[in-house]
Amino acid sequence: MSLTAAIQSVSALVSSAKSSSFLGQGVGPETRFTSFSMPLLPSRKLSVCKCVSAAPPTEQTAHKTKVARNANMAKLQAGYLFPEIARRRSAHISKYPDAKVISLGIGDTTEPIPEVITSAMALRAKELSTFEGYSGYGAEQGEKKLRAAIASTYYKDVGIEENDIFVSDGAKCDISRLQLLFGANVKIAVQDPSYPAYVDSSVIMGQTGLYQKDVEKFGNIEYMRCTPDNGFFPDLSNVSETDVIYFCSPNNPTGSAASRDQLTKLVNFARANGSIIVYDSAYSMYISDDSPRSIFEIPGAKEVAIETSSFSKFAGFTGVRLGWTVVPKELVFSDGFPVARDFNRIVCTCFNGASNIAQAGGLACLSEEGLKAMNNVVNFYKENTQIIVNTFSSMGFNVYGGQNAPYVWVHFPGRSSWDVFAEILEKTHLVTTPGSGFGPGGEGFVRVSAFGHRENVLEACRRLKQLYQ
């Protein structure tokens, strides 16, 4: 086949894949689609679904293998949230082809990466074309300089050291690697509502029972209800003993950040029960008040906690892919074996190190100029958040989150999240996220994301005022 013919056939495959009706099924929600929208501003790809992993249905397959499907995969709830949102958005666009649909639904960043960061990545890419600058596989745990910079930037006063840090291709990937570390025989606890990757990866690992439709929960997971009534912090006296507690603060989707007192209670609870906390601090740079940025600010946490974090929402690295996980040397299993040594084994087995170009970007993020630039981007989204909070508050809604996170959690008491989602889409051409998609505790809420171009956020708020004022 000639090169041109090969390129043509690849393009044909790609375009048929893009138009496939199977693309909406599959993996963890938050990153499934490029965009729901036809933005008013420089357009990204139009409503293209990212997931290309799903296979054609069996009816069209002539040959069947003898390999049984992983029964744990069959337990998953078909990733119902984001495919369903995409389906409804597509139906909406067919019904209103001229509508300017704006998405405040997905948690993907929209603003360009500051140049001080991209120029470091460009330089590293160029160096790879030289004998002196070329490097192949790096250390699976990440480059020493970057691990040291993460330790000194984010954990300076809490005694976390460079060799406690494992650089990765993102927090979501590390969440799954951590599940692999713990294996199938642990019971996990999650905040309800919560980022869906904790529950789904637990199901895939075989830690759970079946999905129970009546209560909308998986068996053998402890759902820790977080509502306005408890200040979005679970009543730990009602939480049964679990092995691993996934705790995200600032929280996706509620936008709330746990206080020092609350995190002290959580650490003490874990110590009393012999549990390990997996603390997700992917939004810590959005904290405006004195809530802790890291679980390791809490005395005693190093013996009971792991922390995972990411450059995704700090620097717009959702596509670049770079994150890290801290496993302190003080953390040990019941037999005294260091957790970090097993995690190191998992990382060396399942991962070959983060991209060297991405790591150059990470190092630039943590330079003096890079930190300023990241803060500017975060502040831009925080201004968006304020605009959204003000809009809903001025119309009399109870609005949560926003102060310490790029998510606004709006209460529609007594109404179904999906009904509110549908009403907003139908009447304003805006895509939000129904809270119930994050767990039964999210029913009655919608999540509004502040990731968006300013003009789109302002236009969205104008439309919301027309609908609800």
Ligand X SMILES: Cc1ncc(COP(=O)(O)O)c(C=O)c1O
State the burial class of residue 380 (Cβ atoms within 10 Å of its Cβ: 0-12, 13-18, 19+).
middle
Task: Measure the CA–CA gap between 178 and 308, rounded to whole angstroms.
Answer: 10
Which residue type is seen at 146? Answer: L
**Interface positions with ligand X (CB under 6 A):** 30, 107, 170-172, 195, 248, 252, 280, 282, 310, 312, 318, 323
Q: For ligand X, which is the closer residue by CB, 124 or 447?
A: 447
Q: For ligand X, which is the closer residue by CB, 37 or 310?
A: 310
Neighbours of 78 (CB within 10 A): 11
What is the closest distance, in whole angstroms, from the C-beta atom of residue 321 to ligand X in the complex? 7
Q: For ligand X, which is the closer residue by CB, 39 or 107?
A: 107
β-strand 221-225 against 244-248: which pairing, if any? Answer: unpaired
Q: For ligand X, which is the closer residue by CB, 171 or 360?
A: 171
What is the closest distance, in whole angstroms, from the C-beta atom of residue 195 to ligand X in the complex? 4
Q: For ligand X, which is the closer residue by CB, 93 or 326?
A: 326
Both structure tokens of 452:
């968006």
Q: Which of 112, 31, 200, 184 is nearest to 381 (CA)?
A: 112
Residue 245 pairs with which residues in a beta bridge? 189, 277
Task: Measure the CA–CA gap between 159 and 151, rounded to whole angstroms.
Answer: 9
Q: For ligand X, which is the closer residue by CB, 439 or 464?
A: 439
Both structure tokens of 208:
């759970």
What is the closest distance, in whole angstroms, from the C-beta atom of residue 312 to ligand X in the complex? 3
> Roughly what angle, to the nearest 10 degrees, separates helices 197-205 and 171-182?
30
Cα pseudo-dihedral 33, 38, 40, 45, rounded to 10? 60
